[in-house]
Amino acid sequence: MKVPRVVIGMSGGVDSAVSAFLLKQKGFDVVGLHMINWDSQEEGSSTCPRSKDEADARNVCDRLNIPFHTVNFVKEYWNDVFLKFLENYKIGRTTVPDIDCNYSIKFDAFHKVAQEKFDADFIATGHYATTSFGDFQQNRKHSEAIRLFSGRDPLKDQTFFLCTVTQEQLKRAMFPLGSLQKSEVKRIAEQQGFDRVVKKPESMGICFIGKKKRFSDFLDEYIEPKPGRIVLKDGQQIGKHHGIHQFTIGKRIHGKYLNERSHFGFFVSEIRSDTGDVVACDGSHHPELYATRFLINRPNWISSSDPLEEISPSKILCRIQRTHPPVPCKVEKSEHYLSVEPKIPLRATAPGQMCVFYTDENECLGGGEILKIEKTL
């Protein structure tokens, strides 16, 4: 019987290193494949340490005695992820490039290369998530739909970023770390002598910005300045800015933009792309920052059917940020969109973000993009 071949995405970090080790330990025919998604020339010396990541990924594969290859997705990433990110920020929308990267690159382009060039039976990544088919597809049944569940480590769970994956993609995916805590992953890495990756800092934030740049400075390199006003909800002007791309809902407004002061500080409550106005409110817990109803587009459901037709409304939860726990919500459907009312008002809900749905049993159902905030406290 042929040993299943698993192509594992090797990032150069500890999670993919331990994933590769676990796959090898399980007896799979493992091939390491490192993705190059960002052109290091684009950012000079301040970009992600691509060459170091590639070297670290190669080192792990050498230690495990598994083949190592690279694949270049710079063009695909630029066109399908980065340009969308920029276009949204130009109009004051807060998108999540990690979700777009999973949708266009890691679970689409990468899967195709793994299957067509390396004859993969399964494709693995170091995401903290699990499925009804098991971390190693040991429970798979061809006639059944596959379901996505939160990883065992609630602090590292990455199902939020996987909300757009399809049945077909999930059925060939493996998440070897799904049942592990991060501390266990690090311990395995230390035991296996993966010293180069176990001591690396966690990759946080958006990769293409690099470690030495402020987010606002990075955006200024790609988006032309377009001056506008900073106003209160009643229209009173309290400052000026040089581009709405510098602002996201819920963030404090730097004093350099303001000609008025507040004891509690001014925070962004709305961005009006049509006029270029940034609307401010006084204080980080102002009622205008807490959404009680918002509209989203028709979600991408992981199931082939609409789970809202099959699951009791009392069991549906939503989250708008990965670091926040899901909260109960009321969902109403119309022809083109869904109206979502969280039972607990959600701070800094912004157009462009994803609203990801779960059940009370930690199943990730899918998600839809937030279009408009309809009501605040």
- What are the tens digits of pLDDT across the range 76-110? 999 999 999 999 999 999 999 999 999 999 999 99
Has residue 202 got a pLDDT over 80?
no
CATH number of the domain located at residue range(s) 5-199 in this protein: 3.40.50.620
Q: Give residue 207's pLDDT band: very low, low, confident or very high (50, 70, 90).
A: low
pLDDT of residue 341: 98
C-alpha separations of 336 from 52, 229, 293, 319 in Å: 46, 33, 16, 21
Give the residue, 200 or 222, on which the prediction is more confident.
222
pLDDT of residue 137: 97
Radius of gyration, CA atoms only, the chain: 22
| Structure tokens, 119 | 């004859």
Residue range(s) in the chain whose domain bears CATH number 2.30.30.280: 224-284
Task: Annotate 73-142 with DSSP letters as a single string.
Answer: -HHHHIIIIIHHHHHHHHTT----HHHHHIIIIIIIIHHHHHHHTT--SEEE---SEEETT-TTSTT--T
Average model confidence (pLDDT) for the chain? 93
Instruction: For 193, list phi and psi in degrees, rounded to 5.
Output: 75, 25
Contact 273, 249 (CB under 8 A): no
Residue owning tokens 């340490």: 49
Residue range(s) in the chain whose domain bears CATH number 2.40.30.10: 288-376
d(CA 65, CA 240): 58
Residue range(s) in the chain whose domain bears CATH number 3.40.50.620: 5-199
pLDDT of residue 268: 98
pLDDT of residue 200: 85
pTM of the model: 0.93
| Structure tokens, 142 | 């061809």
Nearest to 60 by CA among 37, 40, 29, 30: 30
d(CA 161, CA 330): 22
pLDDT digit string (tens) for 334-351? 888 999 999 999 999 999
Indicate which residues carry an active-site annotation: 101, 207
Tell me, which fold does domain 224-284 have in CATH? SH3 type barrels. (2.30.30)
What architecture does CATH give domain 288-376?
A: Beta Barrel (2.40)
Distance between alpha carbon 366 and the CA centroid of its chain, in Å? 13
Q: Give residue 266's pLDDT band: very low, low, confident or very high (50, 70, 90).
A: very high
pLDDT of residue 214: 81
